[in-house]
Amino acid sequence: MMGAGKTTLGRELAERLGYTFVDLDDYIEQREGHTIAQLFESEGQEQFRKKERQALEAVVHQYNGVVVATGGGTPCFFDNMDFINQHGTSFFLDVPAEEIMQRLLASDLSVRPLLAQKNETELKDFIVKTLAARRVYYEQASYTLSGKRYNIDQIESLVKP
Ligand SMILES: Nc1ncnc2c1ncn2[C@@H]1O[C@H](COP(=O)(O)OP(=O)(O)O)[C@@H](O)[C@H]1O
Ligand SMILES: O=C(O)C1=C[C@@H](OP(=O)(O)O)[C@@H](O)[C@H](O)C1
Ligand SMILES: [Mg+2]
């Protein structure tokens, strides 16, 4: 989910493993020459999801030994979750909604177009509802990491060949 810490943890895990780190949002922004917010604004979410899937495929083919931090919506469109699991080991960061809320409120909401311009009540409502709707996709991950803090040694041991 947005704010769960995929980008932060992914970067750290890649460093530990000596793998390349790719943040899928950053990758799309570089390919397209526009920010995620601009892409949502100019083309809408449906077109963004197509670009996101294309980027996912491109990353898988481009790198060998890569940690990918997807966007929070990536697993929930097309057969992306199957694609992810066919090509790697996946992790669902199952962070409590209350903690996600705190993290997002302390961050810049404008970079996440689905959250921009929401007040605190709307944000809370959106996170709880979206998390509930997306859980069915997220739970298809190879591993679920629950809670606010993770043991990076443990995660490393799950992916180390
Ligand atoms: N384990 C953590 N504990 C507290 N704050 C965190 C943790 N991981 C990430 N954050 C913070 O939460 C926000 C969202 O993290 P980020 O890695 O961008 O999440 P995501 O990529 O899943 O949207 C950032 O401000 C980040 O600094
Ligand atoms: O959950 C989502 O639908 C989205 C999550 C974002 O990534 P993060 O999960 O890294 O914030 C980004 O891909 C876009 O704003 C849409
Ligand atoms: Mg991210």
Each residue of 98-154: pLDDT tens digit? 999 999 999 999 999 999 999 999 999 999 999 999 999 999 999 999 999 999 999
What mean pLDDT comes out for the span 8-20?
97
Four-way CATH pick for 6-151: 3.40.50.300, 3.40.50.880, 3.30.390.50, 3.90.550.10: 3.40.50.300
Residue 11 assigned to a binding site:
no
89 pLDDT tier (thresholds 50, 70, 90): very high
**pLDDT of res. 160:** 83
Residue 25 assigned to a binding site:
yes
**pLDDT of res. 161:** 74
Domain ranges across the chain: 6-151
How far is Cα 10 from Cα 92, in angstroms, rounded to an integer? 12
Read off the pTM.
0.97
Instruction: Give me ligand 3 centre to Cα 7, in Å.
Output: 4
Q: Which residues surround ligand 3, an ion (CB under 5 A)?
A: 7
Going by C-alpha positions, the residue among 71, 77, 68 that lies closest to residue 50 is 77
In angstroms, the first-to-last Cα distance of the chain is 27
Instruction: Give me ligand 3 centre to Cα 157, in Å.
Output: 23
Pocket of ligand 2 (CB under 6 A): 2, 6-7, 25, 36, 71-73, 112-114
Task: Provide the token pair at 120.
Answer: 């605190």
pLDDT over 70, % of the chain: 100
